[in-house]
Structure 1
Amino acid sequence: MERFAPVTIERFVRAVVAGGLALVAGLWLTALFARGTTVWLLGLVLVLCGLLGLGWGIRSELDT
């Protein structure tokens, strides 16, 4: 057995993790910056992408 065997992560796990990270980053940005600023809008986009990533990851696992 190799000591460092290659690890295969399923697509839904990647989507859930990436979605969660984007969601947390977006929530931080929207909390720290004034509403309507460019950085705040970037945070809003990250929140939406994070929710979509989480939703897709969970949904894809439930469909199987």
Structure 2
Amino acid sequence: MSDSDESVHRVVRNDEEQYSIWRADRELPEGWYAEGTSGTREECLEHIGRVWTDMRPLSVRQHMAATSV
């Protein structure tokens, strides 16, 4: 199976709230979890573009929030 637009992908996220896509027929790599969205590669990338508005890892955001008080 190729990585064509017809392949089903899913949106995955790690503990740092970073997003990626992964082929639905493959086991997820350690540390990544299915976010709940699946579809074509393009649909998944569009979803990520809408929801991942702050690219900083969670630990950086938390550190900056704690030091700005």
What's the TM-score once normalised by structure 1's chain length?
A: 0.33
More helix per residue:
1
Larger radius of gyration: 1
TM-score when normalising by structure 2: 0.32
Q: Which has the higher strand share?
A: 2
Q: Which has the higher contact order (CA 8 A, sep 6+)?
A: 1
